[in-house]
Amino acid sequence: MKKLTLLVAVIATSFTTFAQVGIGTSTPNASAALDITSTTSGLLPPRMTEAQRNAISTPAAGLIVYCTDCGANGELQLFNGTSWVNMVGGTAAAGPIVADAPAIGTATSSSSGQAVVPFTAPASNGGSAITSYTATSSPGGVTGTLSQSGSGSITVTGLTNGTSYTFTVTATNGIGTSLPSTVSNSVTPLSTVVVNTGATTTLTFMAHNLGADYSLDPHTLVEGIHGNYYQWGRSTAVADASTSSAAIGGWNTASAANGAWVDGSKTANDPCPAGYRVPTSAQWSSVDSNNMQTNIGSFGNNETNFGAAKQFGSGANTLTLPAAGYRIFSNGALTIRGNSGYYWSSTENGTSANFLDFNSSNAFTDINDRTTGCSVRCVSE
């Protein structure tokens, strides 16, 4: 034991005296405190991410690390006493670009085969200005682009009518790096139908009632195509197809003022989506006068009868209007579903308003109290 203690003391004294260590050599260079000699291996410094490097407490001048996520392929870096630099003294490469996602608003569809996807620019752009945005649909992979740096909206065209889509918006910065993206709500592009209104004139209508399930076939008679009920001159629905047929508590019995809807232009109270408006009484009359009329389904007054409709036109130019009945002007109770259809026009008539009325026998424009809840079928502006 005494001999071993003496040997350790001698070795320690030798290291202290000469302050030299050789690895792979018994004769370290006199100018080196540590001399590593090898023809088959290299020196491997500590490897860490930029975040881990930045977490080193009070790094010493001359400290060396290999930053694994700095630059394109990682970088050997040294702390010069003030900041981290690369091994030739230049500015150390940064880690991965960190940016926020662009926020997506509610996607809407205002015409056949398209959707409008609004977005807000990300709060952080990763240190380089945004140059463009791309909206991509799922399913389908259909895209739309917008070259700008701020917020805006992208119109995506070429979508399939009746198919529900979600959208991803991706921002691209000035050095070509794709920034994070986010997915919006789903939207179903509106289907449309072109209806003859004379020898050389047509009107383009939405293929569904306002508030219907736009993913459904507009010519297949089910509850989902009946849509909402609206009082004249107001933009908010007062009931939908599934609302109880009983009187509605708090029903508004005050008529909307003149000018709430007008024939000459779309007002702020018009419930139709962008690019569409409530049709005029004259437009309904032209549809009635210039098209073959066909009853489909079984007409009969019953609150559960969703299987009756009047069709105007033929073939691809067929406008199918469900016999959705109406909500009574005084209390909102449902009546004559399956027997008649009441469809608002924008046309005032004294203190009342005009609407399209049909049953199994005929169709015509008539006058109704403005607080009645009727269907709305929007026409292109």
| pLDDT under 50: residue ranges of the chain | 1-17
- Domain borders along the chain are 1-38, 44-94, 103-183, 192-380
Determine the pLDDT at residue 15. 46
Determine the pLDDT at residue 187. 83
Determine the pLDDT at residue 189. 83
List, as own/partner pairs, every contact residues 280-284 make where C-beta atoms lie below 8 angstroms and the sequence separation is at least 24, other chains included.
280/345, 280/346, 280/347, 281/345, 281/346, 281/347, 281/349, 281/354, 281/355, 281/365, 282/347, 283/197, 283/203, 283/345, 283/379, 284/343, 284/345, 284/354, 284/355, 284/356, 284/365
Q: List the structure tokens of 33.
A: 């405190």
Q: List the structure tokens of 189.
A: 């592009």
Determine the pLDDT at residue 3. 47
Fold of the domain spanning 103-183: Immunoglobulin-like (2.60.40)
User: What are the CA-CA distances from residue 53 to residues 38, 43, 64, 75, 79 (Å)?
Assistant: 28, 19, 10, 12, 10
User: Which among 173, 190, 189, 191 has a CA at the least distance from the CA of 181?
Assistant: 173
Determine the pLDDT at residue 92. 83
Determine the pLDDT at residue 16. 45
10 Å Cβ neighbour count for 157? Answer: 13
Determine the pLDDT at residue 10. 41
